[in-house]
Structure 1
Amino acid sequence: MTSTELARQECAVTVLGGPTAVIDIGGLRLVSDPTFDEPGPHGYLTKTAGPAVAESSLGPVDVVLVSHDQHPDNLDDRGRAFAQAAAVVVTGPLSAARLGAAAVGLSPWTSHRVPRRDGGGDLTVLAVPAVHGPEDGERDADGNVNCEVTGFVLSGSGLPTVYISGDNASIRTVSEVSRRVPGIGAALLHAGAARVPAKFDGRPLSMDSRRAAAAAAVLDADIVVPAHYDGWTHFSEGLADLELAFYEAGMSSLLRIAPHGSWVSLRA
């Protein structure tokens, strides 16, 4: 884990491990699904690797995006403390009620604007739906599979439009996002085919590698950055599976993979 401050970028993303990513865009720094604990058990889930960059090395963060707060692989103990200390947290309405006064709860297809630091106006953070399990999974009283999960689309003048899937296993949902938000240039896709035997007969709770490739095709994105495929024992597919799925689909050129903590440009 590095102790030096992570250098600022013009328009780029770096995955730190698990689902956690740092996105520099529009002069702002955003962190998605912060997980900063060291390896160890978290109830029925087990973390196997810490982050490539510690939270203390990120410098000032403008916005934290939390897809959901109920599972420790997306918000562990130090990640929760990090989010609750942030100036702005954008998440779903149910998660916002648990994360404190700084949390902005967005229902799907509603948005929050953040003034950019590069003088380009605002960065729009649009909440989009996600399905955290199979389409036919039992839904709770709020209509959610597993729990409330929120994806995000970032956009602004002169910036690439960036889709962050959150823990979504539904290609139907990706199709809806593509239809309602055309022109997505870059996609940060949570993959890994997360499985918990007690849930939905062990079927994937997040995209498997083939569905990640299908999502990339549906979105017609120029750049795909995978996350959420390592660092926890319940991820059943890893980087090699992703590379094979994109190769077999003839879309290897879209996939952008770098060592955790290294930057990938969001511009084609």
Structure 2
Amino acid sequence: MTSTELARRECAATVLGGPTTVVDIGGLRLVSDPTFDEPGPHGYLTKTAGPAIDESALGAVDVVLVSHDQHPDNLDERGRAFAQAAPLVLTGPLSAARLGERAVGLSPWTSHSVPRRDGGGNLTVLAVPAVHGPEDGERDADGNVNCEVTGFVLSGDGLPTVYVSGDNASIRTVTEVSRRVPGISAAVLHAGAARVPAKFEGRPLSMDSRRTAAAAAVLDADVVVPAHYDGWTHFSEGLADLELAFHEAGLSSLLRVTPHGSWVDLRS
């Protein structure tokens, strides 16, 4: 882990480990699903690696995106404190109610505008659905599989349209996002085939590697940044599985993998 301040980029993303991703776009710095705790047990989940970059090295953050707040592999203790200290948190309505006054709850297909720092107007953050488990999984009282999870699409004049999936296991949902938001050119896709034996017969709670490649094809994105595939013991597929799946699908040219904490340009 390094505490050297992370330099700003014009339009790029870097995965810090687990799902945690920094996106610099439109002069803004966004952080999705912050997890900054040290390795160790978190209830029934176990973290095996800390972040590549400490939260203190991120400088001024404009927006924190929280796909869901109920699982520590997407929002751990330090991540929660980091989010609650940010000027703006965008998340689902149920999560927002638990995350304090700076959290704005967005239902699927609603958006929030953030003034850009590059003089280009606003960055639009659109909330999109996600299914955190198998399509036929039992739904809770709010109609969600596992729990409420929110994905996000970032867009603005002169910027690439960027999809951040959150913990979604549903290709049907990716297809709906692609249909309703044409022109997605870059995607941060949560993979790893997360499995918890007690949930849904141990079936994946996030996309496995083949479904991640299929999602890339459905989106017709030019740049795919994988996240959520390492750092926790319940992630059952890693980087090698992702690279093989994209190779077998003939999509290796889309996959952008760099060491955690290193930047990926979001423009093709």
Partner of residue 217, structure 2: 217
Q: Secondary structure at the match of 1:50?
A: coil
Q: Distance in 1 between matches of 2:215 and 2:3?
A: 35
User: How far 1:41 sits from its partner (Å)?
Assistant: 0.2
Find the residue that maps to 2:90 and give its secondary structure.
Answer: strand
CA-atom RMSD in angstroms: 0.2
Structure 1: gaps of 5 or more residues: none
Give 3-state SS (helix, strand or coil) of 1:24's partner: strand
**In the alignment, what sits opposite 2:201?**
201
Distance 2:213 2:255 in 1: 9
Question: Deviation per CA, 1:186-221, whole angstroms, max 9, x where unpaired?
Answer: 000000000000000000000000000000000000
Where does residue 153 of structure 2 map in the other structure?
153
Which residue pairs with 2:189 in the alignment?
A: 189
1:122 counterpart residue number: 122
Aligned match of 1:265: 265
Which whole-Å CA distance do the structure 1 matches of 2:150 and 2:135 have between them? 16
Alpha-carbon shift at residue 232 of structure 1 (Å): 0.2
Q: 1:2 aligns to what? A: 2
* CA displacement 1:15-51 (0-9 Å, x = unmatched): 0000000000000000000000000000000000000
Query: Corresponding residue for 1:21?
Result: 21
Once the two structures are superposed, what CA deviation does each residue of 1:57-91 show, in whole Å capped at 9, x if it has no partner? Answer: 00000000000000000000000000011100000
CA distance, structure 1, for counterparts of residue 22 and residue 223 of structure 2: 16
Counterpart position of 2:96: 96
Q: Percent identity?
A: 89
| Counterparts of 1:28 and 1:47, CA distance in 2 | 29
What amino acid is the match of 1:224? Answer: V
4+ long deviations beyond 2 Å: none
Counterpart of 2:47, as a letter, is K
AA partner of residue 93 (structure 1):
P
Aligned to 1:52: 52
What's 2:166 paired with? 166
| 1:142-187 deviation digits (Å, cap 9, x = unpaired) | 1100000000000000000000000000000000000000000000
What is aligned with 1:43?
43
Helix, strand or coil: the match of 1:176?
Answer: helix
Q: Paired residue for 1:78?
A: 78
Q: How many residues align?
A: 268
1:94 match: secondary structure: helix
1:3 deviates by 1.4
Long gaps (5+) in structure 2? none
